[in-house]
Structure 1
């Protein structure tokens, strides 16, 4: 069992952790809330954010508003271009910068990565077990992309992808699928996630990727009603779709 699951099953946790995971702000913001007398535990004002509380039994409130412990969050993001799939960067915006402020103290991180200029479906969570199940190569979960390319698409591109493309550094990719969906467009299915893999696979057959968008993970599809940079919470049913 991972540390994240063990922590979720432990009844006694720090007050600031409970508030942070429930979307009440960063640790610094929560410390200030406690100091101001805005936080109560079982009806009594609590000024110490390190106080241990029972997340199943304690009644916690902020400004008389009840707070219910939410250990894990699962979010779908329609990733735009020029945003890094990282938790922090000193020079560029990251996908965490796109999240509403209520997620600041939750420990969210991207599940896998999309290149800076790649758009589409990206998942974010603070559940390490769930994320690992999606990103582990052993699980062989399909990731589906649409690519716009420059060059002449070979007639046998799908056969080449199914045999396994050899990259310019000698790495042999696992079998993949490539379907021509336009004169300069492909639908590509892989279950690996090597650095710039699709771009490098296309380069190996004489193509240059000019635009790349992920549309599906397992059976979970990008919600096309989301605009670039928008998120929505996954339903319980949707959380299982990547594994189907």
Structure 2
């Protein structure tokens, strides 16, 4: 018996209810091999096996990425698992019936597709159930089986998409609250560290939307002025330095004014 000690067993409940669902999967797979792939909407979304593996896969990816998991899109991996459930339900069912955790199954499938030297989950399964491990490898590498996305691919795709959205927000800022603009810029900076990019590739910090500064203001270190008279000062990409203050408090921006000895 192989168990993943790092996570609870989502499939620990009775498997009897899943058996009929798996039978339907197998019957559909036989039909779809002849008729060609069906669209996702034709598939019963509440099939227990598919949901079990999808949940396990999401948990694996969420733990591996450094960004807000809400940014992630698991549609690509969902197509992989849907295909596997349709075409190889018997192997997946056998793994569950051997009390192998869902995350262990997904990790083993990922390892088989990666084909690298390190495959701890596959080795652990093979220690107890060598034939099952062999079948999982065949399942993962079967012809026309789509590939899982790596956590890094998920991270990069989500980061790039969110950066594009945030850059639109920055360019279309309504000049109402400087603090909102600053939070967008700080979020972009955090994402760029993850995707190894630069905020300057998305927005021009020297030309941010802003209310026009007073004529006698030098504007040094001032990045944007809102309609309430508040400005972003300091480095807008460094949370330690960036801040929002009233423009009137920036005595250094008005030569000869607000100067105290």
Query: Do both proteins adopt the same fold according to a TM-score greater than 0.5, normalized to the shorter chain?
Result: no
**TM-score normalised over the length of structure 1:** 0.29
Q: Considering fraction of residues, name the structure with more strand.
A: 1
**TM-score normalised over the length of structure 2:** 0.28
